[in-house]
Amino acid sequence: MLDVAKIKALSLDLDDTLWPIWPTIERAEKALQDWMAVHTPMAAAMFSGAGGLRELREHMATSRPDLKHDMSALRRETIRLALYRAGENPLLAEDAFEVFFAERQRVVMFDDALPALEFLAQRFPLVSLSNGNADLARVGIAAHFKAAISAREFGVGKPDPRIFHAAAGAIDVAPEQVLHIGDDMTLDVLGALNAGMQTVWVNRTNATWPHEAQPHLTVTDLSQLCAVFS
């Protein structure tokens, strides 16, 4: 059960908690492919199709473990390798990545997400906690957050307790005073539990909880969480 009296701040996951990530990524990859078709046609042809650049990115992730927590660098270096293999100018990777990255920030939020952010931000300091590369300012929601912690900048990702503790430290509260909200059973819920936080599992897909350790609260959307604090 949630102990509301202990909560002094909220940390929130972003992808698949505030917006669906895969439609966003698919649009961004389509924008990248369209750009490459015009500016780097040989690479576009060589790595066309659903799995082209994704397979190359998996190869890059294996060969460059130093990029494990930096999704932007991983994708940028994947593009650079694709251009190199196609015999095109690798320096164009920066422009190509920016096309992808700009579209990646054009998220379509769940209907409940923005009203919930506005409601919760009036009651608690909010900190975003993400393994991804969403940019709060470019998405347009930075005003609702006091801080943003990402695996790319911190160097460690969820479910490592250290990144949860960093989120608590960023808003000057103890981990046990933070309620973490996220969709991923392992990365968000178990990670936050292991860090000493209370947790909310955002279960939008009616999934079955498989673990012995339980979230303090399960909701199907964020409006249900807001009702707890009304």
* DSSP conformation letters of 79-133: HHHHHHHTTS-GGGHHHHHHHHHHHHT-----TTHHHHHHHHHTTS-EEEEESS-
Q: Decide if pLDDT at 55 tops 90.
A: no
Q: 4-19+109-228 sits in which CATH class?
A: alpha beta
pLDDT of residue 124: 98
pLDDT cut 90: percent of the chain above it? 88
Please give the single-letter amino acid code of residue 138: R
Nearest alpha carbon to residue 69 among 19, 23, 20, 133: 133
In the chain, which segments carry CATH 1.20.120.1600? 22-104
CB crowding 88-106: b at 16 or more within 10 Å, else e: bebebbeebbebbbebbbe
User: In the predicted model, what is the mean pLDDT of the chain?
Assistant: 95
- What's the average model confidence in pLDDT over 202-223? 97
pLDDT at residue 50 in the model: 57
Q: Name residue 148's amino acid.
A: A
Is 90 exceeded by the pLDDT of residue 173? yes
Q: Is the pTM of this model over 0.85?
A: yes
CA distance 147 to 169: 10
pLDDT greater than 90 at residue 68: no
Structure tokens at 146: 């006091």
CATH numeric code, 22-104? 1.20.120.1600
Q: Give start-end residues of each CATH 3.40.50.1000 domain in the chain.
A: 4-19+109-228
Residue 185 confidence (pLDDT) above 60: yes
Q: Band of the pLDDT at 150, cuts 50, 70, 90?
A: very high
